[in-house]
Amino acid sequence: MGNKYHGTCASDGLFIGPVRRLAGQSYSRQSSGDPATERDALTEAIQQAAGDLTRLMETVDGESQDILAFQLAMLEDDALTVAAFESIAAGTPADAAWSAALNGEIAGYETAQDEYFRARAADLRDMRDRVLRRLTKAEEAAQGDGAVLVGDDIAPTVFLETDWSHGGAIALYRGSTTSHVAMLARARGIPMVVGLGGCELAETQIAAVDGGAGLVVADPDQAEADQFSRALEAQTSTRAAEDRFRRLPALQKNGMRIDVLINVAGVEELDHINPADCDGIGLMRSEFLFRDGAPLPGEEAQYLAYRRFVEWAAGKPVTIRTLDIGGDKPVRGLTPEGEANPFLGLRGVRLTLAREDVFRTQLRALARACVHGSLKVMLPMVTIPGELSRSAELLEDCIRELERENIPCKRPPLGIMVEVPAVAVVPELFRAAEFFSIGSNDLTQYVTASSRDDPRVAALNDPGHPAVLRLIAEVARFGAAEQIPVSLCGDMASEPRHLPSLLAAGLTSLSVAPARLARVKAAISEL
């Protein structure tokens, strides 16, 4: 029997192949002994690394480009490089000064309380090594394709430079489910397991990776390999069977039509989705346009991004959620530092109402994009009616301002997420909302008092808890009675096992992960 290692799923799917280690490279270089020469060498290496990143950015799109832009912005930030140059002036060789300066930064990220910041450490290591390679003129380690890449962590640029056309998987001793690489792996459908701890995998081994189960089997024996091949075949044929439903409207057995929309974050995701396969975009998480560490996007950049979503949908509805920054999605300079409990803190509409400058820029961009199609605006984390009415006032105000400036704009319908129990219990206080979208991820976390990102309480964080289901059913009933459209955009809509309860609750509109469209439609056809 092969050794079994258990970790956490960062991206599901199955793959079996040879192990390739993501070996940490060592860099050596002879110092010139002259601080001025060392300073010039580092300056040149940073410029070359920036050039490498810029060239790499031209070969990728959207989200991948944003990740590289984050690295580029860090590289061009004097605050990051000043310590290295000071140390060179004091006589340290360029490579040692750069490593020490970056390692200090990386350690800060690695020990951050926040998972999101810890996940950014991989970007910094990637950047550190890119400059070191230039400084020491080291060759870049080639990554084999069609392999299981194994190591402590994998740099985003290594992922982007790897040829995945023959498949592959990632198995990390450390890593994080919320890292940029995990996002990339999910978007590309590459199985990925993180947190494998003390296991050791060697290049001579074969590994079978079951991303969904968070399982890696090293050197599976014949029986295990056969079982894995059967699972792989079953996965392939299930996906082919589900695929037949992709292009069709979602119909229950009784002929009842369910609208199935998609949840998206980045514009580049649209390249891989056919608008004919869905009934629109049910949730666009606009906070993903705001990269931590990068400058905040202005009105024009936001307008162009929102417009792309609306034009892509070609008349189908597109619900763009205003910034849901805070909680597990902090952005330096916007979210407060050191909150004891960020999920209960200044998050979503609470934050945007506290930062009207940022909110108004977004509302103006949204009202402008509304001219190009069927755009709706949705507020996250609403708790009291005053948040909705104040946001509506600001939206009206932005529209009047745009009209005075003769800038084309239109008033989008304004709705709310139902994700705080205080709303789900008394939806009648929110009749002013033009639509409701149930955020079952947060609703579950707040109703069950169990963090959505803590694996130790994952069993409690169950959207199938009767308390959560009752609230969902009540909101759906209220919406139907009052003719307020109700949809659900939390992850449970993407899980076939939850669909019977959601449809029984009377929901007729769901918004799901794009990779689950065909599966959800196939499951609906069975109900």
Task: Round to whole Å and give the CA distance between 177 and 11.
Answer: 8
What is the token pair recorded at 499? Answer: 């669909």
Contact 287, 323 (CB under 8 A): yes
Assess 515 for contact with ligand PEP (CB under 6 A).
no
Query: What is the C-alpha R_g of the chain?
Result: 24
Q: How far is the CB of 441 from Mg ion (least distance, A)?
A: 5
Q: How far is the CB of 527 from Mg ion (least distance, A)?
A: 26
What is the token pair recorded at 260? Answer: 């199935």
Among the residue ranges 25-33, 406-414, 425-433, 436-444, the one whose residues contact ligand PEP (CB under 6 A): 436-444
Residue of 320, 489, 503, 522 interacting with ligand PEP (CB under 6 A): 489
Distances, alpha carbon 285 to alpha carbons 124, 152, 329, 377, in Å: 25, 30, 11, 11
Among the residue ranges 44-52, 240-248, 411-419, 423-431, the one whose residues contact Mg ion (CB under 5 A): 411-419
The one-letter code for the residue type at 156 is: P
Assess 440 for contact with ligand PEP (CB under 6 A).
yes
Closer by beta carbon to ligand PEP, 439 or else 479? 439
Q: How far is the CB of 390 from ligand PEP (least distance, A)?
A: 21
Which residue is associated with the tokens 């029997």? 1
**By CB under 6 A, how many residues form the interface with ligand PEP?**
10
Among the residue ranges 4-12, 243-251, 271-279, 438-446, the one whose residues contact ligand PEP (CB under 6 A): 438-446
Assess 324 for contact with ligand PEP (CB under 6 A).
yes
What is the token pair recorded at 297? Answer: 């996007």
Which residue is associated with the tokens 């057995």? 253
Which residue is associated with the tokens 């096992």? 497
Contact 258, 499 (CB under 8 A): no
Strand 169-172 and strand 509-512: the pairing is unpaired
Residue of 280, 439, 463, 479 interacting with Mg ion (CB under 5 A): 439
Among the residue ranges 1-9, 415-423, 473-481, 519-527, the one whose residues contact Mg ion (CB under 5 A): 415-423
Q: How far is the CB of 131 from ligand PEP (least distance, A)?
A: 35
Assess 235 for contact with ligand PEP (CB under 6 A).
no
Q: By CB under 6 A, what part of segment 401-420 binds ligand PEP?
A: 419
In the list Mg ion, ligand PEP, none, the entry touching 38 (Cβ below 5 to 8 angstroms by class) is none
Distances, alpha carbon 452 to alpha carbons 3, 48, 489, in Å: 30, 41, 15
Task: Round to whole Å and give the CA distance between 226 and 462.
Answer: 34
Q: How far is the CB of 191 from Mg ion (least distance, A)?
A: 26
In the list ligand PEP, Mg ion, none, the entry touching 162 (Cβ below 5 to 8 angstroms by class) is none
Assess 334 for contact with ligand PEP (CB under 6 A).
no
Residue of 227, 441, 450, 451 interacting with ligand PEP (CB under 6 A): 441
Q: By CB under 6 A, what part of segment 253-292 binds ligand PEP?
A: 283, 285
Which residue is associated with the tokens 């989200």? 63
Q: How far is the CB of 179 from ligand PEP (least distance, A)?
A: 17
Assess 509 for contact with ligand PEP (CB under 6 A).
no
In the list Mg ion, ligand PEP, none, the entry touching 510 (Cβ below 5 to 8 angstroms by class) is none
Closer by beta carbon to Mg ion, 126 or else 442? 442
What is the token pair recorded at 72? Answer: 């580029």
The one-letter code for the residue type at 262 is: I
Distances, alpha carbon 23 to alpha carbons 98, 158, 202, 265, in Å: 20, 12, 11, 32
Among the residue ranges 28-36, 105-113, 440-448, 513-521, the one whose residues contact ligand PEP (CB under 6 A): 440-448
Closer by beta carbon to ligand PEP, 440 or else 509? 440
Closer by beta carbon to Mg ion, 387 or else 419? 419
What is the token pair recorded at 278? Answer: 């869905």
Q: 197: phi > 0 → left, psi -120 to 50 → alpha, else beta; which?
A: left
What are the residues whose beta carbons fall under 8 Å from the beta carbon of 366, sequence distance 6 or more?
A: 302, 306, 320, 322, 375, 377, 412
Residue of 442, 478, 487, 523 interacting with ligand PEP (CB under 6 A): 442
Residue of 153, 287, 442, 495 interacting with Mg ion (CB under 5 A): 442
Task: Round to whole Å and give the CA distance between 124 and 81.
Answer: 12
Task: Round to whole Å and give the CA distance between 387 and 127.
Answer: 41
Closer by beta carbon to ligand PEP, 299 or else 419? 419
Residue of 81, 419, 437, 478 interacting with Mg ion (CB under 5 A): 419
Among the residue ranges 40-48, 146-154, 300-308, 413-421, the one whose residues contact Mg ion (CB under 5 A): 413-421
Residue in 65, 167, 88 with CA at minimum distance from that of residue 135: 88
Distances, alpha carbon 334 to alpha carbons 109, 295, 350, in Å: 18, 11, 12
Tell me the torsion sign for CA atoms 244, 248, 249, 252: negative
Assess 495 for contact with ligand PEP (CB under 6 A).
no
What is the token pair recorded at 180? Answer: 């940029």
Residue of 17, 280, 490, 514 interacting with ligand PEP (CB under 6 A): 490
In the list ligand PEP, Mg ion, none, the entry touching 440 (Cβ below 5 to 8 angstroms by class) is ligand PEP
Q: How far is the CB of 379 from ligand PEP (least distance, A)?
A: 12
In the list Mg ion, ligand PEP, none, the entry touching 95 (Cβ below 5 to 8 angstroms by class) is none
Task: Round to whole Å and give the CA distance between 227 and 261.
Answer: 35
Write out the E strands in 248-374: 250-251, 257-264, 281-285, 318-321
Chain residues in the site for Mg ion (CB under 5 A): 419, 439, 442
Chain residues in the site for ligand PEP (CB under 6 A): 283, 285, 324, 419, 439-442, 489-490
